[in-house]
């Protein structure tokens, strides 16, 4: 054995090339770097897909919010134009203030839902990445201990 450190005691091949399995006595310990990088790649892909889905939903909610705001503005203008054209005094014209207020509240709710979705998606992606990283670290730690290192 060319390496006599306590870290490598019991290993038949002290300086195995990167990616090669390691011998621990008569037991072969596989190299886990491929598994680690594969899992991290999967996590990154899942995070990207999740973020893309959230961005798409955010776009849909923003579009719906804009359409509602536009509808409210058009309703308000239409009522004003109709009363003016018909020569109806503003105190006789139908009061649509309650409906406009309700539509504005719905619009604000769309914005809140969108913000909550974005925050939740970011937190979920972070939790998933952390969990996978911790899991892979435990696997690597176990493999290292098992191999005598």
In a domain, 90, yes or no: yes
Domain span including residue 105: 8-130
Evaluate whether residue 123 is within a structural domain.
yes
Distance, in Å, from the CA atom of 124 to the CA atom of 135, rounded to the nearest integer, reads 16
Contacting residues for 130 by C-beta, under 8 A, at least 6 apart: none
* Within-domain flag for 142: no
Structural domain includes residue 141 = no
Res 88: pLDDT: 76
Q: What's the confidence (pLDDT) of residue 148?
A: 65
Please indicate, yes or no, if residue 140 is contained in any of the structural domains. no
Q: Count of domains in the chain?
A: 1
Torsion of CA 136, 16, 13, 7, to 10 degrees: -50
Determine how many CB atoms are found less than 10 A away from the CB of residue 121. Answer: 19
Domain membership of residue 44 (yes or no) is yes
Per-residue pLDDT reduced to its tens digit, 74-112: 888 888 888 888 777 767 767 777 887 888 888 788 888
pTM for this structure? 0.52
**pLDDT for the residue numbered 145:** 76
Confidence at residue 89, expressed as pLDDT on a 0 to 100 scale: 74
Residue 84 lies in a domain: yes
Segment-wise mean pLDDT, segments of 10 residues, the chain, 149 residues:
43 50 68 76 82 83 83 83 79 75 83 83 82 82 72
């Amino acid at each position: 054995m060319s390496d006599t450190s306590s870290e490598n005691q019991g290993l038949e091949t002290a300086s195995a090339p990167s990616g090669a399995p390691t011998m621990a006595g008569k037991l072969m310990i596989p190299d886990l770097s491929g598994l680690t990088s594969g899992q991290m790649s999967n996590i990154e892909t899942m995070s990207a897909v999740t973020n893309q889905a959230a961005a798409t939903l955010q776009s849909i909610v923003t579009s719906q919010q804009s359409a509602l705001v536009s509808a409210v503005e058009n309703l308000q203008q239409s009522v004003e134009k109709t009363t003016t054209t018909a020569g109806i005094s503003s105190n006789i014209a139908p009061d649509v203030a309650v409906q406009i207020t309700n539509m504005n509240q719905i619009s604000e709710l769309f914005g809140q839902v969108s913000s909550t979705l974005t925050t939740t998606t970011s937190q979920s992606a972070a939790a998933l990445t952390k969990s996978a990283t911790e899991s892979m670290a435990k696997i690597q730690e176990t493999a290292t201990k098992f191999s005598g290192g």
